[in-house]
Amino acid sequence: MGSKAATTLIKNIRRNLSEPVSDDDLTNAASGGDWTNTDLLEHLNKAKDRLWDVVRTVKKDYFEITGNTSLALVSTSRNYALPATFRELVYLKITTPGYETIKFLPLGQETELFKVLFSDPDAHADSEVLYYDVIGVERILFANFPPVTLATEMGFIAALADYTLSASSTSDLRDEWAEYIEAYATMLAVGKTPGDSRIAFWNREIARLEPKVAASVAPRQVRDPEYVEAYNP
């Protein structure tokens, strides 16, 4: 979605800091004075993660991935890896013909039912229910085995991959949010010196820009009405 490269963002952050480097040096990790490009890349990724939090506060499912992610279940395994960008499960749905009625229900590993089913090597989905628990953000564990090999569609909330120090490194973020990311990263950079007089300014900039980000993703159910002034001859 976004087209602004990491090096473009870092160049703008350096402009905010009054510490430019040549375009050729933007991909050199060690380039810079008070802040190396490695430092600013770290701040940039923290700013990107902060924006992810702001957007999700307003619209929880904004970063949902649906329809194109599958989880292949086999009848001999109950432990599966999740996508690298996985952060929160939204739904699981079986797409194998004839098995669509099997339901998925979350069940904590600490519950007695999970323990009983998991300890049974013959615990299959005879009850038309597959019980699962998400382990961190890396794996999903089922209490019982699927009855056969099943194709499963998954919807989940995705994290944003980190920027890298490259002119081709972009992120799935709107370009209109770049100003917020740059301001937040700049604030982190100047914040390494607590007495820096620029900290207050960049905190105000963040306070100014954050509501704009929130407003850009606020859910709407109806079209805004056209404003018509009252007739006053």
Q: Is 232 part of any domain? A: no
Question: What's residue 70's pLDDT?
Answer: 87
Q: How far is Cα 217 from Cα 12, in angstroms, rounded to an integer? A: 24
Amino acid at 186: T
Question: What's residue 233's pLDDT?
Answer: 42
Question: What's residue 139's pLDDT?
Answer: 95
Domain count, the chain: 2
Question: What's residue 220's pLDDT?
Answer: 59
Looking at the structure, do residues 53 and 116 belong to the same domain, yes or no? Answer: no
What number of CA atoms fall less than 13 Å from residue 75's CA on the CB side? 7
Looking at the structure, do residues 190 and 154 belong to the same domain, yes or no? Answer: no
Strand partners, 143: none
Q: Is 70 part of any domain? A: yes
Question: What's residue 73's pLDDT?
Answer: 94
Looking at the structure, do residues 14 and 87 belong to the same domain, yes or no? Answer: no
Q: Is 227 part of any domain? A: no
Cα 149 to Cα 57, 110, 154, 197: the distances in Å are: 38, 27, 16, 62
Q: Is 92 part of any domain? A: yes
Q: Is 168 part of any domain? A: no
Looking at the structure, do residues 124 and 94 belong to the same domain, yes or no? Answer: yes
Per-residue pLDDT of the chain (233 residues; tens, 9 = 90+): 568 899 999 999 999 999 999 999 999 999 999 999 999 999 999 999 999 999 999 999 999 988 778 899 998 999 999 999 999 999 999 999 999 999 999 999 999 999 999 998 887 766 689 999 999 889 999 999 998 999 999 999 999 999 999 989 988 888 999 999 999 999 999 998 989 999 999 999 999 999 999 999 886 544 455 444 444 44
Q: How far is Cα 54 from Cα 187, in angstroms, rounded to an integer? A: 16
Looking at the structure, do residues 54 and 82 belong to the same domain, yes or no? Answer: no
Residues 81/83/85/87 CA torsion (nearest 10 deg): -60
158-178: per-residue pLDDT in tens?
999 999 999 899 888 889 999
Looking at the structure, do residues 139 and 71 belong to the same domain, yes or no? Answer: yes
Question: What's residue 123's pLDDT?
Answer: 77
What number of CA atoms fall less than 13 Å from residue 189's CA on the CB side? 33
Q: Which residues contact 150 (CB under 8 A, 6 or more apart)?
A: 72, 73, 94, 96, 99, 102
Looking at the structure, do residues 187 and 129 belong to the same domain, yes or no? Answer: no
Looking at the structure, do residues 133 and 87 belong to the same domain, yes or no? Answer: yes
- For every residue of 52-105, DSSP letters joined together read HHHHHHH-TTTTEE-SS-EEEE-TT--EEEPPTTEEEEEEEEE-STT-TT-EEE
Looking at the structure, do residues 49 and 90 belong to the same domain, yes or no? Answer: no
Angle made by CA atoms 219, 222, 224, in degrees to the nearest 5: 100
Q: Is 170 part of any domain? A: no
Looking at the structure, do residues 48 and 92 belong to the same domain, yes or no? Answer: no
Question: What's residue 66's pLDDT?
Answer: 85
Q: How far is Cα 86 from Cα 84, in angstroms, rounded to an integer? A: 6
**What b/e string do you get for 175-184 counting C-beta neighbours within 10 Å, with b at 16 or more?**
eebbebbbbb
- Domain range for 144 is 64-158
Question: What's residue 126's pLDDT?
Answer: 66
Looking at the structure, do residues 30 and 88 belong to the same domain, yes or no? Answer: no
Q: Is 126 part of any domain? A: yes
Question: What's residue 125's pLDDT?
Answer: 65
Q: Is 1 part of any domain? A: no
Looking at the structure, do residues 70 and 151 belong to the same domain, yes or no? Answer: yes
